[in-house]
Amino acid sequence: MKKISKLLALETTDVSGSVALCEDGQIITRRFLCPERRSAQSLAPAIQSLLRDYDWKPTDVDVVAVALGPGSFTGLRVGVATGKMFAWAVNAHIIGVDALDAIVATIIRSDSFKPEEPTILSVGMDAQRGDAAIRRYLVVPRPDRKGLTALSLEGRFRVVAIEKWLGTDDEVPLLDSLSGEPHPELEHILSQLSSEQIAVLRTIKAKDAYFAGPALRRVKELSTKYPSVRLIAEEQWNPDAAGVALVAWENAVAGAFDDVWKILPKYSRRAAAEEKFLAKQRVLNNGQKTDSGV
């Protein structure tokens, strides 16, 4: 198999999208799209400009990484469609990256977030209508103390009211509250922790987590309304193409590529028009059952 070296990353889940170039696992550059223009207008020119500025031909790109969501409907469709077309045209691999994972990848590599003990990081994308698409991550220092490891504690993101996400008073330790199938990766990480670290982790409740993500910007006077919430630095709340590239590079090294024909956006919820249509259908179906006497 051809050696993987050059990666192009696209992120269009939020208002201000971005494009990044990564070579051999190192971020070369990142460029934000103009927030005053739609992604459909600015994404392709930004890709062309970035490749030209760094003397990359389109065919030099080995992997196209694209954020799949959760995020805005239009932005996601534009980003995923553009990534698929580019990958297909130049015969490159494609990797879809969860936007929440991209945020976490950036946070755990930052100089401002250096927990010395295992902790929980809760990240939320704006899902509109006062809701957030959230996922929680276990963050632990690596055994050699050179950086952090983050592990998702939940499979698919959950959509909850932002007030519920931030205002929880649940006293049940977070790890004890997780349900579902056994988590082999979690068990592996816990096996590498000291008894003291595990004891700390077992006491962490949902309200003790660190919070990040664009959904936080939906709350007016955030620090006043939720004074006890522990926040990650605001400049790290948004997903960006550099975070997408970091996650995708790890997958590329492992040979975990996606199918260009099957990769799809992950919306946090149905479009308003679709929800109205389904609601109308339910009303009609209920009426039919009543008329038939069923």
Task: Count the domains in the chain.
Answer: 2
Domain residue limits at 136: 114-232
Q: How far apart are CA 84 and CA 103, in angstroms?
A: 22
Judgement on whether residues 29 and 89 belong to the same structural domain of the protein:
yes
Cα separation values, 224 from 80, 205, 219, 232, 238, Å: 38, 21, 10, 16, 22
Residue 282 maps to a domain: no
- 129 and 72 fall within a common domain: no
pLDDT digits (tens, 9 = 90+) for 85-96: 999 999 999 999
User: pLDDT for 153-171, tens place per residue?
Assistant: 888 899 999 999 998 666 6
Is residue 123 located within the same domain as residue 225? yes
pLDDT digits (tens, 9 = 90+) for 56-106: 999 999 999 999 999 878 888 999 999 999 999 999 999 999 999 999 999
Asked if residue 218 and residue 124 are part of one domain, the reply reads yes
pLDDT tens digits, one per residue of 229-287: 999 999 999 999 999 999 999 999 999 999 999 999 988 765 555 556 556 666 667 66
| Same domain, yes or no: 202 and 250 | no
How much is the mean pLDDT over the chain? 86
Tokens of 5: 């070296």
pLDDT given for residue 241 in this prediction: 96
> Residues 141, 220: one domain?
yes
Whether residues 205 and 228 share a domain: the answer is yes
Residues 6+ apart with CB under 8 A from 28: 20, 21, 22, 54
114-138 tens-digit pLDDT: 998 889 999 999 998 899 999 999 9
Same domain membership, residue 202 and residue 245: no
| pTM beyond 0.75, yes or no | yes
Are residues 245 and 225 part of one domain?
A: no
Whether residues 44 and 136 fall in one domain: no
253's CB contacts (< 8 A; 6+ apart) are 4, 25
Residue 76 inside a domain? The answer is yes
